[in-house]
Structure 1
């Protein structure tokens, strides 16, 4: 119960609401913008909106927090093309990010999905958290089946986030719960969650009995091992996370024995 309580506190903090702050500088050549804010986590994602007239705004860019200076309270944002709403019938416009535009971060953090190795762990974690709207992994499994990926790719998680407005991804690995911004795939926190794991379902716990596979291509093979694969996904997206590196090192040392 102690560890479930920690998870509950964690989710309460992350899902408190969206964070908004005006842009204070823009480096258009390097797609960098900055905001001034009291506190923000590196890895949080969001978007920049631009006011085009009274009562009308347009979203211009995706953003990810790549740095935060706690002394100056300046957060650095990496900008990229906004891809959540695609419609060729809509005008694209020639608006660009300007000082004074609004940065919105932690959008969708009230909705989360849990990747867990079995049903018991899934229910113990999700039932302990009441303020978060859980989107069942069955929906993700259905998307994987449509894409022909019994092994989920990082791009599958991104598309899932866009289609379901899920902002947080939780992955349970070896008695630890990884909280991830699903769009940036950056680790926000790693929390102890010492739950007994008696079985493992691949590629994760879902009530979908079979995920269809494509004839060929990345992701078309069935997943053969749970922990090594998800550690691989996390390491690729978080190469400089020292805590993750230590966890993976210890896992490999135990596996080699």
Structure 2
């Protein structure tokens, strides 16, 4: 219990000092497009690795999302974005617009950054994180656990989390590990904000939820239990 309290006290102090993480939606037109990349006006609201969407306005006044945009560079004056397929449109019932981004189309960054998946090792940390970020709607971890249970995936990978983000209209993922926690973009898995924290006393894998056990199946080569919580999520986040 003492270790739990130590973690929470340090974790709370760190979050209290860093809880300014509140990315605002930023809209700007494309000012240049070249070979799968675009250029926009830079802003303090833009973080490297953050993402958004590109929208195109039609002659009838309607607009549609035509691509995903990921920030790859910024210099204080302009920023570069890489265009990708917007995964949330990859559904049989929703035809993907056959339109490429062009100058004048609108880029909306920090898209769905008010909704996040939450991956934490225990309930105490879950309660504290939710309390410290009231402006973010965290997806109920039981929903995530049920999804993994249905798919026999006790060791979620990036694609699993991307699918969960798409299903729940979330743009961020919060992951708490031993001595460190992060907000990352749910598509690129680029870290947008880091927090230093204390030691974790106990873990539930793959993360805290009321879904206590997720079964494996022998015919799925990628179905296995997580042996080390921290190692698993540091690997997904490309942390050394």
Answer whether TM exceeds 0.5 for this pair.
yes
Q: Which residue does the alignment assign to 1:21?
A: 28
Q: Root-mean-square deviation (CA), in Å?
A: 2.1
| 2:21/2:193 contact within 8 Å kept | no
| 1:25/1:33 contact within 8 Å kept | yes
Q: Which residue does the alignment assign to 1:203?
A: 206
Q: Normalising by the residue count of structure 1, what TM-score does the alignment of the two structures yield?
A: 0.82
Q: Which residue does the alignment assign to 1:159?
A: 163
CA distances 1:83-108 after superposition (whole Å, capped 9, x unpaired)? 21234455555422110100011111
C-alpha spacing 1:38/1:91, structure 2 compared with 1 (3 Å)? closer
| 1:113/1:135 contact within 8 Å kept | yes
C-alpha spacing 1:190/1:206, structure 2 compared with 1 (3 Å)? same
User: Does residue 127 of the first structure (1) align with residue 131 of the second (2)?
Assistant: yes
* 3-state SS, counterpart of residue 125 of structure 1: helix
Q: Bigger relative contact order, structure 1 or 2, given CA contacts below 8 A and separation 6+?
A: 2
Q: What is the rounded CA distance, in whole Å, between the counterparts of 2:186 and 2:96 in structure 1?
A: 26
* 3-state SS, counterpart of residue 13 of structure 1: coil
Q: Which residue does the alignment assign to 2:231?
A: 228
Q: Which residue does the alignment assign to 2:15?
A: 7
User: Does residue 115 of the first structure (1) align with residue 90 of the second (2)?
Assistant: no
C-alpha spacing 1:228/1:22, structure 2 compared with 1 (3 Å)? same
| 1:111/1:133 contact within 8 Å kept | yes
Q: What is the rounded CA distance, in whole Å, between the counterparts of 2:56 and 2:17 in structure 1?
A: 34
Q: Which residue does the alignment assign to 2:68?
A: 62
* 3-state SS, counterpart of residue 53 of structure 1: coil
Q: Normalising by the residue count of structure 2, what TM-score does the alignment of the two structures yield?
A: 0.87
User: Does residue 103 of the first structure (1) align with residue 107 of the second (2)?
Assistant: yes
| 1:60/1:96 contact within 8 Å kept | yes
For structure 1, the residue ranges without an aligned partner over 5 or more in a row are: 236-243, 249-257
For structure 2, the residue ranges without an aligned partner over 5 or more in a row are: 1-8
Q: What is the rounded CA distance, in whole Å, between the counterparts of 2:225 and 2:88 in structure 1?
A: 29
- What count of residue pairs does the alignment treat as equivalent? 231
Q: What is the rounded CA distance, in whole Å, between the counterparts of 2:166 and 2:16 in structure 1?
A: 25
CA distances 1:91-133 after superposition (whole Å, capped 9, x unpaired)? 5554221101000111111112221111111112222322221
| 1:35/1:74 contact within 8 Å kept | yes
CA distances 1:2-43 after superposition (whole Å, capped 9, x unpaired)? 75354356454334x31111001001x3x1111012221111
Counterpart among 43, 54, 59 of residue 49 in structure 2: 43
* 3-state SS, counterpart of residue 67 of structure 2: strand
